[in-house]
Chains A and B, each alone.
Chain A
């Protein structure tokens, strides 16, 4: 009986139990802790395919482990010297070419099977054709935050990637074009796909097609400097209606609220605008995240803290308090300036 290697295998019974167990364990972790980025709780085609491949591989190496480990255990128990007084030596056996040949051929066969399965999966994921319906997003890695650009939608945002829900009947995959502004980074949201590096001068591509709405967490997976640990990543998988609403909101110009003109004045006259953009102001900087719709994001400082006025104030006053070694300098603002600025930033919906 010929069956699909990657999904069910010859030793299907034990593998199936293992699958159930791992899947349940993976989901249990994901549910209990809300935000465990387990690779065994996949929610997108690439991660799902990898999950099935991983079970197949786990079955094979698990089998090898049981057989060889069992032989070792047997040898240790069966052939241990029982009588310390016994001075005689056991029979000396120097080797056997037939046996050597046997335990060379069997691993060769295993390698052939593993290689063919793996190669098929590499081509299936890496060279998948891009459908017309795909959404393009350019991801730029910075020390220590993520810039997301939607070239066809005219949207620029940071750290929180919004993508539409996909389904097998209505595929809406998101293709990510990965760039780096400084050093190497790596884009990794385990439940959606394997990681791909962001390397300066070496653009890369990857794709996801999330099948369940929700928030998926991940983080930079290539050491990129002092705050590598707090270069966190959130992917929001929106239903079509949510996504359309989000796009509409992001395409608007920055808020112009006269009640917070003092804060806007601080933004435009202190060094803030050298690094940050807020559309509708003179701020055109690109070194830091675009703040035009800052209040549409749940977190600040690349996920280091929830986006609340208190945290914003702490962050602007001295970024190191939330994120040691962040490249944003402490601007030595007065309390009044801080209050005004935070009041202004809080209007940027």
Chain B
């Protein structure tokens, strides 16, 4: 099946391979000045994977510090910098760029376009994002201002005012934090606009909105949501810098400013941000689960509606992060209801994935292993989310390790698992070679075990009253053993991550040659050669259904007869 020649044609590029390669400097130059959506997609993903390792190393340092009570591995100041940088890195330098990387690479291929709508804006956005990341990490050596040694931001990734005011946060760490996020935020906005424009206006002939792959649908929703959510964060960062440098009083409580305003701004950004991160993970599952179950996605229109529904409802739930700040009982009740409502479209998605698997012939290659674990873990993450939406219980659990466990279940159990799934799935398309299945299985099972050892245990630490953001704890609280377990799990995940990196590199040189369509899949990217040539398609493809390659492979039983 893999080498079947398909009528949707590939490249007409006749440049001999050795001439196309060029010298090392020429190739490097090519990567820097490129406006090709595929190269930019790869840049995004590689950039994010590097920061994933950095953020992971910070997490391991945090876990070494918390292995035993009263540990002196990190000082209080360093610990606070590490957890701030860990959170900021994972959300802004890993989560968003890697998912935009996938969108960049895949959306034009999936909708039969030759590139993004605005290729130069695309390159500009990537380099802005990259600059933001470098700016944030430069704070480790450039953050002190006039105050002693280097000072990375140490105010938490949520940076609650007025802790960020000059008087409580001297030095330049907080400024680097705000500036870096403003810069990368503009990059994010550029990419979001680009994706929306590409999907709206660049679809190939026959691809109506309701024939688009769900991946593209989800990316459209995410990008639109990004435009709405990044803006309040950027505004709040500007207000913070005005407070710090121009004598403003937005958050200056000593002068009548409001600490609550920051919290509102931050979570008006911060909650939809969770969906900005998790919807692309859904997008990945929407592609992989059907292909490996050998069935069309169940309830395509319901999946689209649920995604759009989640995006809308997610804009009205932010204050469930604020049940403890002293809102009125009526406000609390309102945000309980809106938060619980998110569970309905989310439930629809889980049921549809289950129904897609139901009656299929499921092939458990590495991408599907990750996606299956994703469904399981996302189920739990959703249920602990329901638990946290119960405001009185949240008064107990808020800012405890239960919350840490819950959102790592989303960010790692759902998103990182699906990032791995996506890389195993599309790596053959990008490089032309398969990743090693044997290493992939090791990677998966170790990561799965490490994940559950770490994050399942954290829930119980929350029940036992351990708050987040603490660099040490009392030895008589009954938290010692559980913390040790959590740390051991973290190291198992670390080993799995190293296997993954090794697999990435090894497979690039030694992986089995993939061919165009190694998974026997149905969307347009698998109709191009691996890797796809510049401008993707020599002639514009035309589609008649949601699964154009299914139609070609099964001319006797095409999808378009049923849609």
Contacts and interface: CB of A to CB of B under 8 A. Distances in A.
Given A79-B359, A199-B260, A229 B470 contact: yes
A221 interface: yes
A90 B392 contact: no
Interface string A164-201: 00000000000000100011101010100111110111
Nearest to A304: B474
A143 B296 CA distance: 58
B329 interface: yes
Contacts of A61: 383-384, 386-387
Interface stretch (B3-11, B72-80, B99-107, B190-198): B72-80
Nearest to A29: B478
B463 A38 contact: yes
Contacts, number: 288
A135 to B, nearest CB: 20
A80 B364 contact: yes
A49 interface: yes
Contact of B474 (A35, A100, A184): A35
B156 A223 contact: yes
Contact of A221 (B298, B400, B474): B400
A107 interface: yes
A52 B125 CA distance: 51
Contacts of B387: 54, 57-58, 61
Interface in A118-143: 118-119, 121-123, 125-127, 143
Given A37-B464, A103-B351, A107-B344, A232 B168 contact: no
Interface string B72-112: 00011100100000000000000000000000000000000
B140 to A, nearest CB: 17
B395 A196 contact: yes
Contacts of B80: 223, 226, 228
A343 interface: no
B127 interface: no
Interface string A286-304: 0000000000000000010
Contacts of A71: 354
A76 interface: yes
Contacts of B23: none
Contacts of B476: 33-35
B251 to A, nearest CB: 10
The residue in B298, B376, B383, B473 that gathers the most chain A C-beta atoms within 10 A of its C-beta is B383
B294 interface: yes
B557 to A, nearest CB: 8
Given A54-B393, A122-B336, A35 B477 contact: yes
Contacts of A220: 467
B437 to A, nearest CB: 13
Given A61-B383, A122-B392, A194-B395, A127 B400 contact: no
A39 to B, nearest CB: 5
Interface stretch (B218-226, B299-307, B423-431, B528-536): B299-307
A182 B162 contact: yes
A127 B333 CA distance: 12
Contacts of A107: 343-344, 347-348
Given A196-B326, A223-B156, 6 more contacts: A36-B477, A36-B479, A79-B362, A199-B259, A202-B259, A223-B80
Closest 5 CB pairs of A and B: A194-B395, A37-B465, A33-B478, A36-B478, A229-B470
